[in-house]
Structure 1
Amino acid sequence: MSFSASPRPPSGPRRRSLLVSAAGAAGAVLLVGCSGGSESEDRAAERSAADAARARAGRDSEALAARYAAVIGAHPGLAERLRPLREEVVRHAEAFGAGGTASAGASSEASSVASPSVSARAAGPGDGVGRVPADERDAVALLAGAERKLADRRAEALLEVPGELARLLASVAAAGAAHVYLLTDGG
């Protein structure tokens, strides 16, 4: 009886190649496990910076909504023109995760517009809104300037934040630029 080698090579992987592959995969897992600490710290720092940028953008939108409310309160004749822009700014604040003062400002706006004795200082002290100009054109110019500064700041921040937040900032900055147009030439 003679044992001859089969002319056909064995199908499938050899035992030795399976062992080498398994050892390589185990080594790769160990390497990833060792370097994962610094990578996760980098991601945590990036996430923290993005969260800070998102919170800042939300606060900025809330402050802008308060400024709109102050102008509407001081100049009720502008309410019809400014209310849609302010509502959009409130939605921007909500998109960034803010939700306190922008919504609260809506109810104070409604009460201040209904009140016949509205002063030029429609917002509270220390709120960062400042005085509202007595002239309607100057008040609208004040809003346009605030929108322009905020849109520019958001456009600059695009390079410092990750993808989804960058897209949101870009969208809101574009909306701010459209508000500037509507408040100036296009209004």
Structure 2
Amino acid sequence: MPSRLSRRAVFLGGLLACSAGALAGCTSSEESGSGGGTVSATTVRGLRRRAARDGNDLLARYDATAAAHPALADTLRPFRDTVTAHLAALNEGDASPPGPSGGEPEVPADADRALTALADAEREVAEARLRAVPDASPDLARLLASLAAAGSAQAYLLHEAR
């Protein structure tokens, strides 16, 4: 594992940190869907909670990976912090946010494979959020698209960290 990240990785990491702060300011006023149709409050709440549950699962994966590979803990901390900021944006106004959906995630014994598994998980969550955009209200669609972009960048940076 390299001791330094490339300038590109540091730049992308800075963008992620800035986007996490901007995401926290997103509002949850829901009206019409991004495709022009009306979206019910129940649909919006369901999409938001599903995205939050996926984020909690991702957070659990970061925690399990750091526990299984203590040498990676410092490398993973900024990525985990970004996921936490994304969860805060998704859980805005939710009195009882969802927790993780399953048990303890499996972590590969090899550190490089563990980073690859995290990158794959980030990419899967990003793709799921992007697939939800057409069914979301405009505000939630913007949030989900931003989170999907940030997740894709996180996946890229995790591959760089190997």
Normalising by structure 1, we get a TM-score of 0.60
In 2, distance between residues paired with 1:60 and 1:87? 15
CA RMSD of aligned residues (A): 2.1
**Residues 87, 100 of structure 1: alpha-carbon distance in 2 compared, 3 angstrom cutoff:** farther
Q: Structure 2: which 5+ residue stretches go unaligned?
A: 1-36
Do residues 83 (structure 1) and 58 (structure 2) align?
no
Larger Rg: 1
Aligned AA for 2:121? A
Determine the structure 2 residue equivalent to 1:95: 89
In 2, distance between residues paired with 1:153 and 1:147? 10
Normalising by structure 2, we get a TM-score of 0.69
**Residues 100, 160 of structure 1: alpha-carbon distance in 2 compared, 3 angstrom cutoff:** closer
In 1, distance between residues paired with 2:102 and 2:45? 23
Which secondary structure state, in structure 1, belongs to the residue aligned with residue 160 of structure 2?
coil
Determine the structure 2 residue equivalent to 1:138: 113
Higher relative contact order (CA 8 A, sep 6+): 2
**Residues 129, 148 of structure 1: alpha-carbon distance in 2 compared, 3 angstrom cutoff:** farther
**Residues 49, 100 of structure 1: alpha-carbon distance in 2 compared, 3 angstrom cutoff:** closer
Deviations 1:87-133 (A, max 9, x none): 1101111211175758xxxxxxxxxxxxxxxxxxxxxxx83443211
Q: Structure 1: which 5+ residue stretches go unaligned?
A: 1-41, 103-125
Aligned residues of 2:49 and 2:98 also touching (Cα < 8 A): no
Determine the structure 2 residue equivalent to 1:149: 124
Task: Give the share of equivalent positions with the same residue, in percent.
Answer: 42
Which secondary structure state, in structure 2, belongs to the residue aligned with residue 184 of structure 1?
helix
In 1, distance between residues paired with 2:134 and 2:102? 29
